[in-house]
C-alpha cells in the first residue's frame, strides 16, 4: 500500500532523549520564577538597608536578594563552571583592552582633581563591587545557566545579554547605542565566564570597568554619577557615560570575537583528542 509519508519508528533511546529535553525545558521555565523572588526581595532589602545613598541601597539590596537565587541553581546542571578561575590573564587582557582607549581619551579633556571625600569614595567603591557581584550572579550565573536550554549555550548568552540590556534601558540618559553596548558587554562577560570557568573573572572585569571609568576617570556609569578621583572638565558622553560610545562598541565586538574564536579552538582540540 502506497504511503505518502513513510513511517518512522521511534526507538527507546529517541523517546528517552525527547523526554529528557522536554523535562529540561520545563524545569528551566519553572526556575525562572526565581526571578520574581529576586525582584521582590531586591526592593525589600534595599529599603531595609536604610542608607541615604542610592548606590549603597541598590548594592546591599541586590546582593542580599541575589543569594536567594543560589538554591534555584542546585536544580540546574551547570553548562559551564561556576566558581573556578582558569586563565587569570584573561582578566588583565580584557580589562586593558576595554579601558586603555578611555584612559587615553580622558587625558585629552584636561581633567582636574575631584572633590569626593576619601570616606565617601571608599564606601562607594565597596558598594560598587557588591553591585557588580549581584548583577553577575543574576545574569551570568542564574540566567545564563537557566536559559541555556538543552545545553545550547548560545541561547543562554543571547537571552541573558538581552535581559541585561533591558534592565539598564531605563537608566538616566540611556539611548539606543548605550543599550546595544550594554547587551554586547553582557555577551563579553558570558564568554569570559565560559573561558575562565566561573563568574570570578566577569565580576572583576565588570567591577574594574565601573570603578575606573566612574570613580577614577570621573565619567558617569550607566547614567549615574559617582564620587571620583578625577573630574572631567568637558565630559564626553555626559548623559550616560562611556557605555554610549561607539569606541566601546568596537572594543566589545573585537574582544567577544577573540574570546569566541579561542573557545571554538579549545572545543575543536578537545574533540580531536577525545
Condensed to tens digits (0 to 9), the pLDDT of residues 212-244 reads 999 999 999 998 889 999 988 777 776 899 999
Q: What is the pTM of this model?
A: 0.84
* Domain-embedded: residue 56: no
The pLDDT value given to residue 4: 45
Range of the domain at 156: 79-273
* Domain-embedded: residue 150: yes
- Contact predicate 240/219, CB 8 Å: no
Task: Please give the mean pLDDT across all residues of the chain.
Answer: 82
Work out how many domains the chain is built from and give that number: 1
The pLDDT value given to residue 11: 54
* Domain-embedded: residue 92: yes
Condensed to tens digits (0 to 9), the pLDDT of residues 88-124 reads 888 888 999 999 999 988 888 778 888 888 888 998 8
* Domain-embedded: residue 68: no
* Domain-embedded: residue 127: yes
* Domain-embedded: residue 124: yes
* Domain-embedded: residue 84: yes
User: Contacts for 217-223 with beta carbons within 8 Å, 24 or more apart?
Assistant: 217/102, 217/103, 217/106, 217/111, 218/106, 218/111, 218/114, 219/102, 219/106, 220/173, 222/168, 222/171, 222/174, 222/178, 222/182, 223/171, 223/172, 223/173, 223/174
Amino acid at each position: 500500500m502506497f504511503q505518502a509519508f513513510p513511517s518512522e519508528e521511534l526507538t527507546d533511546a529517541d523517546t528517552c532523549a525527547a523526554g529528557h529535553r522536554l523535562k529540561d525545558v520545563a524545569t528551566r521555565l519553572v526556575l525562572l520564577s526565581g526571578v520574581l523572588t529576586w525582584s521582590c526581595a531586591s526592593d525589600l532589602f534595599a529599603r531595609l538597608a536604610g542608607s541615604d545613598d542610592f548606590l549603597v541601597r541598590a548594592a546591599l539590596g541586590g546582593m542580599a536578594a541575589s543569594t536567594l537565587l543560589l538554591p534555584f541553581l542546585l536544580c540546574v546542571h551547570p553548562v559551564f563552571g561556576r566558581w573556578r578561575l582558569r586563565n587569570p590573564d584573561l582578566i588583565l587582557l580584557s580589562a586593558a583592552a576595554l579601558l586603555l582607549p578611555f584612559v587615553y581619551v580622558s587625558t585629552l579633556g584636561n581633567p582636574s582633581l575631584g572633590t569626593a571625600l576619601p570616606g565617601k569614595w571608599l564606601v562607594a567603591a565597596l558598594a560598587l563591587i557588591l553591585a557588580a557581584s549581584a548583577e553577575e550572579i543574576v545574569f551570568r550565573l542564574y540566567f545564563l545557566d537557566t536559559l541555556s536550554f538543552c545545553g545550547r549555550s548560545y541561547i543562554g548568552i543571547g537571552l541573558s545579554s538581552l535581559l541585561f540590556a533591558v534592565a539598564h534601558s531605563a537608566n538616566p540618559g540611556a539611548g539606543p547605542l548605550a543599550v546595544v553596548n550594554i547587551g554586547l558587554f553582557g555577551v563579553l562577560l558570558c564568554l569570559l565566564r565560559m573561558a575562565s570557568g566561573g563568574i570570578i573573572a566577569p565580576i572583576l572585569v565588570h567591577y574594574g570597568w565601573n570603578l575606573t571609568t566612574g570613580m577614577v576617570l570621573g565619567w558617569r556609569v550607566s547614567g549615574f554619577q559617582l564620587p571620583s578621583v578625577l573630574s572631567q572638565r568637558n565630559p564626553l558622553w555626559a548623559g550616560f557615560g562611556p557605555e554610549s560610545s561607539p569606541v566601546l562598541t568596537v572594543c566589545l565586538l573585537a574582544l567577544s570575537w577573540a574570546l569566541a574564536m579561542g573557545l571554538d579552538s579549545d572545543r575543536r582540540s578537545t574533540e580531536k583528542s577525545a
